[in-house]
Amino acid sequence: MGKGVLRPQEGLIQVTDAATTPPNWDLYGRTVLDIRFPDRTVRVAPRPRGTAEGPFPDLPGPAGTAALHVVTACDPCGRPALAADNARAQAVLLDELDRRGLAWWPAAGGDAHGTHIEQSVAIAGLSDSAARELGRCLRQDAVFARTPGAWHLLSCDGGVTDVQGWTAFTSNRGRSFVTWPTA
């Protein structure tokens, strides 16, 4: 894949600043995520605030404070892009993560039925502000932060945050709504 450079550019959710939410905000709040770890694929789905059920990965950092941020480079500004453009943008993201020496795992997010899926990455070692900045550089509306106790939807511009719960489970026999690319 090509190299590139990053340049700055429903009842489940509690919105802390509704005045500046992106147009697709409600859809983002219903996103289901598959994260492919070396030994399993974990599906994460939104749940009511205060719910945190299922496995949470061991991440670097102090116990209970680490977040797993999920970022994509696909469909900038919340608008569908050509598959080739999304693939190039995602390659730039992966190059940047490798350049920074961050731990990451392939992920994909979309609606619960799998009709809209975006390749993404789950990243360890970022702060919320660094994840937002990375999303902003990729022209994304929002990024996710999963902590042991909550699922946060973070706008890349404007500081809006939604907090909800999550449930996670290991998918059966590695099944996912994503066909993962071969290494």
Given a cut of 60, whether residue 178 has pLDDT beyond it is: no
Say if residue 171 is exposed, middle or buried (CB neighbours under 10 Å; 0-12, 13-18, 19+). Answer: middle
Whole-model pTM over 0.85: no
Q: What is the pLDDT of residue 11?
A: 36
Percentage of residues of the chain with pLDDT beyond 90: 58
CB 150 within 8 A of CB 164: yes
Helix (H, G, I), strand (E, B) or coil at 65: coil
Reported as a single tens digit per residue, the pLDDT across 111-154 is 888 888 999 999 998 999 999 999 999 999 999 999 999 999 99
Q: What is the pLDDT of residue 68?
A: 94
Percentage of residues of the chain with pLDDT beyond 70: 79
Given a cut of 50, whether residue 53 has pLDDT beyond it is: yes
Tell me how far apart the alpha carbons of residues 178 and 175 are, in angstroms, rounded to a whole number. Answer: 8
Given a cut of 60, whether residue 177 has pLDDT beyond it is: no
Given a cut of 90, whether residue 20 has pLDDT beyond it is: no
In the structure, what pLDDT confidence band is assigned to residue 62 with cuts at 50, 70 and 90?
low
Most confident range (mean pLDDT) of 21-30, 127-136, 152-161 is: 127-136
Given a cut of 80, whether residue 183 has pLDDT beyond it is: no
